[in-house]
Structure 1
Amino acid sequence: MANLHRSEKKLLETVNFRFVPKIDQLDDIALDNHGYYHGFVCPHGHTIRDNINNWCYHCVHKIQSNICGFDINYLHVEYKSKYQKLWKKITVGAPGDCWTINAPGPYAPRRVCMPSYRSAYSHQKSENLSFHKALYNCAWGDVGGMIVTRTCGNPRCGNPLHLVSSWNRAIPPESVHPFELTFEAEKLMAYGKNKEQPLVFNQVFRNTITFPKDTEIPDE
């Protein structure tokens, strides 16, 4: 029983999301006071991470809002081409179906090489992530060192709606939206032009990606 209580306490501490108004305006000392730090960029261009489990602040905010989706054109340059290759190995189906991962592996697909929070201090820019966690970090958001599991139990399923972490709600959204897997010159040019202007990029691009049209946007 004591072990059970300790496990429950550890889980609660792990999923302790601390909302901080205007967090992007804080310096490193103020971030640390809230238990955050500026780390390696996540697939969606954020850098604020949890001090303990290294999850991305803005990604977890999105996950808790029950939003699953991305536009590959707006992923960070460290991830863009890697994820294009990864998603080509998925047979996309209906939202409720398992999406087959067409990748080598005797039982489950082999791990894939992707940047992670460790890239900030590791000698290697990338590390081996499970195929499912790589997909989750792209479609839902970067959960750092936390575990990603499959609700369907199918080791070959790559449907993001069947992937969960401790941050997910009990019922997933009806679909992955946005879900753009094709590079488009106009979007890539717009991304490249505005990515170094945080105010413009956040307002014009990132909110569109993180909180799609007709979706209620949580207060920052």
Structure 2
Amino acid sequence: MRFFVNDTALDIEPAHLIIAGWTGRDAAAIQHHIDELAALGVKPPSATPLFYRVAAGLLTTDSAIQVVGPASSGEVEPMIVQAGGRRWLGMGSDHTDRALEAHSVAMSKQVCAKPCANQLWDWDEIADRLEDITMESRIEQDGEWVLYQQGTLASIRPLAELIDGGDLDALSTHGPVAMMCGTFGAIGGVRPATRFSMSMTDPATGRRIEHQYSTAQLPEIA
């Protein structure tokens, strides 16, 4: 995969992809997310946070993905990339099949591509202000873009804690690692959309990462 760091191309082919779930720092916020997914039939987690391993090939910078049926949706998340002793911060979407999620969260994470922006920030440049970074997502609904998620990284567990929990240092000795680090509750509830837009902003510098993708639905054949 080709990423860009300050306009410099960086070719990294992740060998490992982790989806960190239930990473909210506030207990009430975690419970809210559990409750909104419970309304879709999703069982509560056995522990928080959890670190789901999925196929590395699911990560993509493409602007379109294919999904089976109408029941999938995206979630904006900070994404850590680690390779060759270096670390970067990026942004991705944990696109998930909500119908399958009611049966198995782990399996639902595996069946959808994980879109991400092709821009990364050098970790050392932003490590001292991670919690100030803002993220938001929007979905296209009835022909208009609607705010779907919004928050700062301060509402997610410290990324250093998630790095340890996902064992990124050890795992990266066996090839590049990418990890999505959790998300915020959906404004108006979790719901599918065929177009998803996301952004991440560093208020200190005004730098912004943006990515947008669409989903094409494949028929669900029984």
Which TM-score bucket, shorter chain as reference?
under 0.3
Bigger share in strand:
2
Larger radius of gyration: 1
When the two structures are superposed, what TM-score results if normalisation uses the length of structure 2? 0.27
When the two structures are superposed, what TM-score results if normalisation uses the length of structure 1? 0.27
Question: Using CA pairs below 8 Å that are at least 6 residues apart, which structure has the higher relative contact order?
Answer: 2
Bigger share in helix:
1
